[in-house]
Amino acid sequence: MKKFDPGLGVRIDKDQMEFRYDQDVFGPQPEKRTLSDIRGSLKDPDCKGPDIVYSIAMDVGKKKHQKQLYQRKLLFGVVTYAAGALGEEPIRSQGHIHKASSHSGWSPPEIYEIWEGKAVIYMQEYADDFPGKCYAVQAGPGDVVVVPPGWAHSTISADPAAPLTFGAWCDREYGFEYGKIRAHQGLAWYPILDDNFNIVWEHNDNYIYTNLIEKSPNKYENLDITERIPIYKQFENNPDTFQFVSKPFLKRNEWENFVP
């Protein structure tokens, strides 16, 4: 199975859905999301699936960077998904919007990097009746996907046979808002597995219809992100690279008419 080396000493115990850290790396015990935790955002809330759907370790990094990450209000998270499916849906996170942080007043963006497995990062401009632009961005090991400030989104495992693992740059004061999405019984498009275990998309009629654009990731050159260099390594080389995650206004012009 193809994997991408993130340049960070984190190993995944897939059987226990746990993380193991090298001696020079700090990280917490993971938070585990069970099927019962996320039923409210699924197309079929009564579906069957793995008991532990995914594990999240928020605030991982090299010990020598810990103080700097805190001062910059940056946080690196690691997530691993179980193999399998949620009824006719693939394994995925709950749809959410990032809560506005008190220090910036902005809903922060998020920078994903796929380490193992196949992913689709689904995102939509709004969580109101009119969802605005809707994208399904397909990504594999080494690919980076940016979710802009304020967009509702979900991370989907596109291969039921293989666990998905990824890292992400986040605002240290992270928080999730679920209310509007749960009120609409999920996001504007449901990912459904067909008979060949490929993802097809079904519109959620609780939203006004807008087209879904399926695409590969943008290059994000205007955000000063370099392709194929691990995003933690890019921070290590230049700590200012991802300062826009906790200070989204630094890239204010880039968020207008953003294409992920």
Q: What is the pLDDT of residues 140-184, one digit of tens each?
A: 999 999 999 999 999 999 999 999 999 999 999 999 999 999 899
Averaged pLDDT of the chain:
95
Mean pLDDT in residue range 178-207: 94
d(CA 53, CA 221) in angstroms, rounded, equals 34
Residue position matching structure tokens 């998904």: 81
Mean pLDDT in residue range 186-214: 96
State residue 14's pLDDT score. Answer: 86
Q: Does residue 136 contact residue 198 with C-beta atoms inside 8 Å?
A: no
State residue 40's pLDDT score. Answer: 76
For residue 41, pLDDT over 80 is answered with no
Closest CA to 200 of 41, 88, 87: 88
Architecture of domain 10-255: Sandwich (2.60)
For residue 85, pLDDT over 80 is answered with yes
Mean pLDDT in residue range 33-48: 85
- Counting DSSP H helices and E strands in the chain, the numbers are 6, 20
Mean pLDDT in residue range 194-222: 96
Pull the structure tokens for residue 89: 């849906």
Mean pLDDT in residue range 247-252: 98
Mean pLDDT in residue range 214-224: 96
Q: Does residue 210 contact residue 65 with C-beta atoms inside 8 Å?
A: no
Q: Which residues contact 162 (CB under 8 A, 6 or more apart)?
A: 1, 83, 116, 117, 118
CA 218 from chain centre, in angstroms, equals 16
d(CA 33, CA 218) in angstroms, rounded, equals 30
Produce one character per residue of 18-40: b if its CB has 16 or more CB atoms within 10 Å, e if not.
ebebeeebebeebeebebeebee
For residue 1, pLDDT over 70 is answered with no
